[in-house]
């Protein structure tokens, strides 16, 4: 697990160097990129073999529960001879099973390991290394939040080193209806839960419920919420939901900072947050899509409102 976290964090660094291009369509491609470009890995054959073995295991998913030797080699980008040698080694160790049709699938060992991971790895453990890396790349405050009744609660904070900052503290309760952090949690709710929340919240009585539902649907489509000055004037926030299949609570990551800094890097920060949310979700057991949600025309309802007023 420690090695996996290190690999994911290293991938975030690589994305920053390459101007945050979306290089990872699937988790195994992270390992492939490191395998090809990392001087440290190339200098250590043992570590390189481990990275290659992990890339093979990560090639299996719900779409491809079984793979032929040729398919494995194509997916991870390794020569046939190398793929054959590693697949045989992994099979002898009991992590792959060779089927009657000469294809391979993951063994039952992963069920046992998955149960152990679910019992020990909590959301904070999974998120904190990635939050720290996002903070290093962006220089802004990064928070981990959870929905709790009518509030969202901050569980963890990695503060910006800049003197001009948005102050957030662990344990802080904030009404869920305001700000990108709360809005992305609302967007993660079922229609029934959202309706109950709006009916029970005193803050929801003055809200246009239909306009809110349209806004939340936009956030679901694009995969993130972004607000400017909705809760605190002069502060921009970008939030992404976390997918945690084994947990009943709703979680999200948020980047928060002064609008004068965040707005000029909006596109880059959105990409970073989408990638961070996907990385944490994978650690929590989620199976992520190979393509990200399509971005819609306007990423921020406040921005759209200002444009409408200007045109009017």
Percent of the chain with pLDDT over 70: 71
What does the pLDDT look like over 267-301, one tens digit per residue?
999 999 999 999 999 888 887 664 455 554 334 44
* 115 shares its domain with 176: no
- The enclosing domain of 53 has a CATH number of 1.10.10.10
Which contiguous run of DSSP H or E holds residue 96?
A: strand 96-98
Dig out the tokens for 298 from the structure: 């306007």
| Nearby residues of 198 by Cβ (< 8 Å), 6 or more positions away | 204, 207, 209, 212
153 to each of 129, 133, 211, how far by Cα in Å?
Answer: 20, 22, 25
Of the three residues 57, 87, 120, the one that is the final residue of a domain is: 120
**DSSP character at residue 95:** S
Of the three residues 120, 144, 172, the one that is the final residue of a domain is: 120
Segment 92-107 mean pLDDT: 91
Closest CA to 160 of 177, 194, 136, 181: 136
Kindly give the pairing relationship between strand 225-228 and strand 235-242. Answer: antiparallel
* 132 shares its domain with 256: yes
Of the three residues 99, 120, 141, the one that is the final residue of a domain is: 120
What does the pLDDT look like over 136-156, one tens digit per residue?
999 999 999 998 878 888 889
Q: What is the pLDDT of residue 34?
A: 41
Segment 34-48 mean pLDDT: 54
Q: What is the pLDDT of residue 109?
A: 83
Mean pLDDT of the chain: 77
Closest CA to 259 of 232, 223, 235: 235
Tell me how many domains the chain contains.
2
Domain span at 97: 2-120
* 83 shares its domain with 202: no
Q: Is the per-residue pLDDT at 264 higher than 90?
A: yes
* 174 shares its domain with 200: yes
Q: What is the pLDDT of residue 2?
A: 46
Segment 192-207 mean pLDDT: 74
Rounded CA gap, 165 and 261, in Å?
10
**pLDDT-derived band at 10, boundaries 50, 70, 90:** very low
pTM score, whole prediction:
0.60
Q: What is the pLDDT of residue 159?
A: 87
**DSSP character at residue 135:** H
What does the pLDDT look like over 72-98, one tens digit per residue?
999 989 999 999 999 999 999 999 999
């Amino acid at each position: 697990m420690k090695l996996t976290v290190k690999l994911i964090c290293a991938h975030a660094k690589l994305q920053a160097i390459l101007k945050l291009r979306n290089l990872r369509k699937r988790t195994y491609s992270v390992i492939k990129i490191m395998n090809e470009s990392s001087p440290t890995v190339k200098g250590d054959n043992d570590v390189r073999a481990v990275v290659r073995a992990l890339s093979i295991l990560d090639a299996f998913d719900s779409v491809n529960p079984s793979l032929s030797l040729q398919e494995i080699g194509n997916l991870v980008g390794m020569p046939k001879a190398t793929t054959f040698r590693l697949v045989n080694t992994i099979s002898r160790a009991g992590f792959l099973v060779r089927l009657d049709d000469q294809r391979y699938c993951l063994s039952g060992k992963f069920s046992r390991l998955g149960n152990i991971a679910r019992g020990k790895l909590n959301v904070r453990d999974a998120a904190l290394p990635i939050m720290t890396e996002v903070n290093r790349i962006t220089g802004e405050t990064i928070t981990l939040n959870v929905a709790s009744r009518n509030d969202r609660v901050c569980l963890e904070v990695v503060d910006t080193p800049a003197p001009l900052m948005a102050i957030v503290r662990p344990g802080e309760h904030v009404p869920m209806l305001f700000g990108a952090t709360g809005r992305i949690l609302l967007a993660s709710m079922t229609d029934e839960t959202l309706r109950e929340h709006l009916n029970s919240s005193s803050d929801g009585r003055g809200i246009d419920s239909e306009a809110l539902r349209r806004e939340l649907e936009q956030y679901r489509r694009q995969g993130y919420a972004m607000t400017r000055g909705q809760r605190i004037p002069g502060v921009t926030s970008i939030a992404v939901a976390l997918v945690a299949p084994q947990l009943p609570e709703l979680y999200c990551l948020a980047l928060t900072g002064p609008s004068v800094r965040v707005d000029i890097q909006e596109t880059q920060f959105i990409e970073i947050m989408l990638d961070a949310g996907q990385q944490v979700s994978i650690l929590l057991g989620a199976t992520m899509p190979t393509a990200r949600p399509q971005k819609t025309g306007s990423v921020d309802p406040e921005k759209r409102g200002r444009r409408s007023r200007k045109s009017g």
